[in-house]
Chain A
Amino acid sequence: MRIGRYGLKLEKRLTVTGWQAAIISSLAIVFALVLFSIIFILGGINPLLAYQEIFSYAFANRFGLPLTINRFIFLLLCTCAFILPFRAGLWNIGMTGQLYAGALGAFAVLYAFGAKASLALELSPGIVIPLMLIAAALGGAGIGAIAGFLKGRFEINEIVVTMMLNFIVLWLVAFMIKEGGLFMNPGGRGESFEIPPSGYAPLIMGVPFTVFLALGLAGLLYFLFAKTRIGYQIKAHGHNPAAAKYAGISAFGIPLLVFALGGAVAGLAGYHYFAAVPGVYKIARNYAYFGDLAFYGIICGLISLGNPLAAIPVALLFGGLSIGGRFVQGKLGMAFGVDYALLGVLMITLVAFQFFYRYKIVWVTIGEKGLDVGVHR
């Protein structure tokens, strides 16, 4: 394209530095929000007002902020669960099923201690909560490992398998909590029994302790990829599985490992939302909503280019946006699902912006000579 003596040219990027990636990702988010204002305008709402409401509720409101932080913890864990296989070149879209399995694991521990029978049961938190965490991680890891095993051993497409597992575990949860299932609420409301207050996750300044778990895991993953041998092997498998295999990196072990670990992290996300968020403390009837939210983890992981530290601010922002979106939907009288719509718009914008991670548009000055000869390129 040419404008006078200047021209626009596409140039292939050979490498993307951290800062360039950060700028492109930020632009993608801004672009998505601008695009999303169309939805507000179609709903007859001033988008500036809507965004002001979203951000002030999500980040500066004493009711909204705790919700945002809880959502952030959940999204960060889901993002880490996505990133682990992603760095090995594999797609984990099964966070949904893995987190349900984590929730089932945590509730199985409570059930074993007899928590279903009575809310007044005195559990000793020092024993029960670590056991719940371990069971949640194991539950998620078990579901993840199925996909990793099938990928590593039989080269079965992990996208299809993880998606199938999502639906399988979705119905397993329904089986467990509805119509006489093992974890059904004695009141029979189609939801699980409630956790006795003695089994609540400890709060630190009103925030569940899982916030440290999530932040710590993000830091640990960063360290894993940057400094350790196993992290290097994961990345090598991601760049070129065939070459990695010749270098002695197991083509079976790496998929199994990343999916089991990713699943374990997603299982913790399940623990967080169903057993640690104040005011929930049960597998509610609308548990599928939390499963759907896990898909934000895919977007966070892609937008932060698989960097667990970069995922922290992104997860915080998306947590706030989804909470604020739900709030303006009620306040400004919009149809249900503003947060779902935002999920879709963010994702498709991000796809379009993938292009800019690989190409850049540069201004070139076309010299006098070029004009004289009249060579148009």
Chain B
Amino acid sequence: MWEFIARSLEASTIFTFAALGELINQRSGILNVGIEGVMLFGATLGFIAAQSTESYLLGFLVAIVIGGLLGLLHGFFSVTLGVDQVVSGMGIWILGFGLTTYIGNPYTGPLGLPRIPTVLGLSPFFYIGIVLVVASWFVLTKTSLGLRIRSVGENPSVAEVSGIDVTKTRYLCVTVGGMLMGFAGAIYSLDYNPVWNYNFLMGWGFIALALVFFSMWNPFILLGGSLLYGTLWQLSLNPQLVLPGVMSRYLWRTVPFVTTVGVLLLMSTKWFRIRWGAAKPEALAQPYVKE
């Protein structure tokens, strides 16, 4: 049972990192639906770097850098060129899905490095994730940088008039967000399940996207959601550990996705709608053109 709980917490860490990256993006008004693509890139290139240099540190660094670069690319498309943010995010997802399938294929198989040591029985990234949640909550709500980010997400033209550089702030957020997503991918491929396989993520990034909608853009609610989904995901992978023989293992795999639709349905009730609408960054997904 402890094994199951530990794995669930580790799975939730990946959701935490990826969704936190998306949350920072969205707080500045940029929607990135390509989380899964950024994660795939971080996971695959990080895996290759770690395997060929036999260094975990380099693997994670490569994943963070590629994540940041893809974030910058999304920023270039959506901030500078003013492309529809959904189109750009889709582009990054399909680019990630397509290219990593090609690039990673020769590396199919296990990583072949000694496992990353655990701290108190858990992956060290679990603790880093909690620190990051607290830190991003602090930065977003208690600092002038956070105020800048939020005002850019709520009303970019007013922010611009009051002397905030909208372009710079948004670029900062998409880059940092991308780095976190790339990091999340590397946690998957280097720590959680160190085996490279074709399209191995199977929806982690899209669940992370839904988690941000659930969280009402609050890092602490996001952490709670990640814990819930980490457990649910782990249960869907290993149902026999907790509820043996209840349902076909293939049907278990659908549970996180069915639940997501269910939660979205719950969120659409009036009680949630009002609070959700108040919390939502007003300028989310709208391109901003300086007049």
Give me the interface of A with B, judged by CB distance under 8 Å: 39, 91, 93, 146, 150, 154-157, 159-161, 163-165, 167-168, 171-172, 174-175, 178-179, 288, 292, 295, 298-299, 302, 335-338, 340-345, 347-348, 350-352, 354-355, 358
Contact = CB atoms under 8 A, between A and B. Distances in A.
A350 B92 CA distance: 11
B246 interface: no
Given A171-B253, A171-B254, 14 more contacts: A156-B265, A156-B268, A157-B264, A164-B206, A292-B199, A337-B102, A337-B198, A338-B102, A341-B101, A343-B94, A344-B95, A351-B83, A351-B90, A352-B77
Contacts of B258: 164, 168
Contacts of A335: 102-103, 105-106
Given A154-B265, A159-B86, A340 B253 contact: no
A345 B90 contact: no
A354 B80 CA distance: 12
Contacts of B83: 351-352, 354-355
Contact of B94 (A161, A178, A295): A295
30 contacts: A93-B90, A150-B265, A154-B264, A154-B268, A159-B33, A160-B213, A163-B203, A164-B257, A165-B261, A167-B257, A168-B258, A172-B254, A174-B253, A179-B248, A292-B199, A298-B94, A336-B105, A340-B102, A342-B98, A345-B95, A345-B98, A347-B94, A348-B91, A351-B87, A351-B90, A352-B77, A352-B83, A354-B81, A354-B87, A355-B82
Nearest to B264: A156
Contact of A150 (B97, B206, B249, B264): B264
Contacts, number: 138
B210 to A, nearest CB: 5
B91 A347 contact: yes
A234 B251 CA distance: 36
Q: Which of B248, B249, B250 has the most CB of A within 10 A?
A: B250
Contacts of A358: 82
Given A171-B250, A340-B98, A298 B206 contact: no
Closest 4 CB pairs of A and B: A344-B98, A351-B91, A341-B102, A154-B268
Nearest to B73: A348
A150 to B, nearest CB: 7
Contacts of B92: 348
Contact of A161 (B82, B248, B264): B264
B184 interface: no
Contacts of A344: 94-99
Given A338-B102, A344-B99, A163 B77 contact: no
Interface in B227-245: none
B260 interface: yes
Interface residues of B, number: 45
B264 A345 contact: no
A193 to B, nearest CB: 18
Contacts of A157: 213, 264
A352 B99 contact: no
B84 interface: yes
A39 B91 contact: no
Contacts of A295: 94, 97
B210 A160 contact: yes
A358 B82 CA distance: 9
Q: Which of B77, B99, B202, B267 has the most CB of A within 10 A?
A: B99
Q: Which of B81, B94, B210 has the most CB of A within 10 A?
A: B94
Contacts of B149: none
A341 B198 CA distance: 13
B12 interface: no
A167 B94 contact: no
Contacts of B199: 288, 292
A60 B267 CA distance: 54
B174 interface: no
